[in-house]
Chains A and B, each alone.
Chain A
């Protein structure tokens, strides 16, 4: 059976990814991101309704104003209540006119209330946490390259890490394009993607390593080797991405307002991670290998 040649089309796959990443970077610098109140701060509003209400009621009341992603908490003296008169809402800062509209909307759709407090609140995530996460990530990449260099060789390590940086860039690009909200759980979503991406790539590389032992002795071609390894692990790659996607899809479709963006980030990341293991990491490895083979060629001839 003639197989679709993946390994020989490296340039095409790089181009496809760059077509997302480059406009993505441009978008990140021009439009930036839609940071949630975790990062920007916002307004805290404390309401006391005449009758007990549920979180779902308040969220429905905020939906017409596009504010259903706000943090809505019931409060009182007891934990785990289903409904309460006191509701605490954390939301983005609003213009006076918009604020009046929202407050009137809540009154008509949810019920009569008194405003107990309304004040600006600061960010809960500082740049420090992000910087800290980035530092930790970079350290982990170096260690991963070292480990893979020790178990495989350095070219595998660098390719795998580049593939996972690719995945992070794709997710960031998509979030900049769509202007979906970035909140504190987004950081965790990115880290999850990193964990998945590296794992997925190494499984394919492991297969290449295994096939490598025999392949060149038989005078095989490097593209053929990579294609074979990719196809041998393809079923596993797909099954694994399905598994992680099942739960994430369910969270996206059946989950609530406040976890949608989180699930979305995971979905994009898992898809990208699966793609990059096959279409980016392996061609990158071929690229590095061909480069160093060429460099070594003269010494071989001597």
Chain B
């Protein structure tokens, strides 16, 4: 018996020491290593200017199309939550959150991406508008990086016609006037599919596919300015918000400690572990944290605390019914679990729908909320449960008030009467 008590105590202390240690040592560097969005960290500010050419004049309609094509390109390149904004008559501002090689990304985005198929005489037979889809792939046999093209019905006919007439001759595929590849036509191709080879890396092939999918810009654009900008919330607001966040979390920890004593302390430890896990998960998913994401975190911390409160309240009820600490704990957990499960599943449903159907900032919010709620449920039923069991088994405290069973204001009294 004594052995069991001592073992439990050691396990409990180990949990507490490890969690606090990991938290204190790593919370700051981990939090800082998570990529932050334009609102929290700033990024690269690029100004594109459209230029009149003999082929295409700049007008309002063209500029609107430039904006929507840019949105498509930036999103498809996986640059999270950019800002794409019309400026004046013929400019577009693109702001990208901290990425590794902004210059390269900008070069790619700024391409006109005019695709042409020409015969030997130099006649343009097909253009990018005849495409239905473009996908990058690596050819399994020769290891070449290629872009698979799928033509629209009309495009397929044109392509069949082109290849039929040019058997034994070469056709050229050009992007913005430069020859990408000039294959020799061996036989007519009727299936409406073609392939562009000659890309050096798979990444290059993917970028080309994105450009082709998003379509050609209606006008030529030039990059007239690139610079770094600070957080759009303002550095001052960001500093203040960080302080506010720390105060808020501190208040939550203190609150639990005051109202639930030793149980509250265990909940606090669980909350620290929860925070570390959430940050770690966001980091490993390479998520971008923005203010909406922070809202998701605030709520999920609330729910993590909520799970603990539910457990403690059920525990207290069971204890007042006359059960021993250990039995009350088991019964409390079992009852709390259904509650936590049902209430959290509804929130997870909302987060999942927002993630799959939402766009941009909404997805970022949904992912932090969804992950946060799943993790909070996980910590409550594993860590909190484990530590409380060890605490009770260690028989460190015999007075129930240590577990927060002291005042009889709301629920307890009612339960007693009923019992």
Contacts and interface: CB of A to CB of B under 8 A. Distances in A.
For chain B, what secondary structure do more than half of its interface residues adopt (helix, strand, loop), or is it mixed?
helix
Interface stretch (B189-197, B210-218, B234-242, B386-394): B234-242
A82 interface: yes
Contacts of A200: 343
A229 to B, nearest CB: 10
Contact of A191 (B84, B335, B345, B365): B365
13 contacts: A56-B235, A73-B230, A79-B98, A119-B91, A129-B362, A160-B346, A239-B255, A240-B302, A247-B298, A250-B245, A255-B237, A256-B238, A266-B298
A199 B372 CA distance: 14
B248 A73 contact: no
Interface in B16-63: 39, 41-42, 45
B347 A195 contact: yes
A82 B42 CA distance: 13
Interface stretch (B131-139, B146-154, B171-179, B405-413): B405-413
B78 interface: no
Contacts of A79: 41-42, 98, 228, 230
A185 B255 contact: no
Given A75-B45, A199-B306, A246-B248, 4 more contacts: A129-B359, A232-B317, A256-B236, A259-B237
A65 to B, nearest CB: 16
Contacts of B91: 119
Contact of B339 (A75, A206, A244): A206
A78 B351 CA distance: 36
Contact of A136 (B42, B303, B354): B354
Contact of B87 (A1, A44, A137, A234): A44
Interface stretch (B5-13, B119-127, B198-206, B289-297): B289-297
Contacts of A178: none
A76 B228 contact: yes
A281 to B, nearest CB: 12
A34 interface: no
A250 B248 contact: yes
B286 interface: no
B81 to A, nearest CB: 10
B106 to A, nearest CB: 15
Nearest to B71: A126
B4 interface: no
Interface residues of A, number: 90
A147 B346 contact: yes
On chain B, which size bracket covers the interface? 35 or more
Given A129-B360, A202-B343, A235 B231 contact: no
B295 A192 contact: yes
Interface in A52-92: 54-56, 59, 71-82, 84, 86, 88, 90
A88 B45 contact: yes
Interface string B297-313: 01101110110011001
Contacts of A122: 67, 85-87
A77 B227 contact: yes
A188 B229 CA distance: 24
A143 B93 CA distance: 39
B280 interface: no
B350 A198 contact: yes
Interface in A187-224: 187-189, 191-192, 194-196, 198-200, 202-203, 206-207, 210
B231 A73 contact: yes
Given A54-B236, A243-B302, A244-B299, A132 B313 contact: no
Nearest 8 pairs of A and B residues by beta carbon: A256-B237, A188-B292, A247-B248, A122-B86, A244-B302, A250-B248, A254-B244, A140-B353
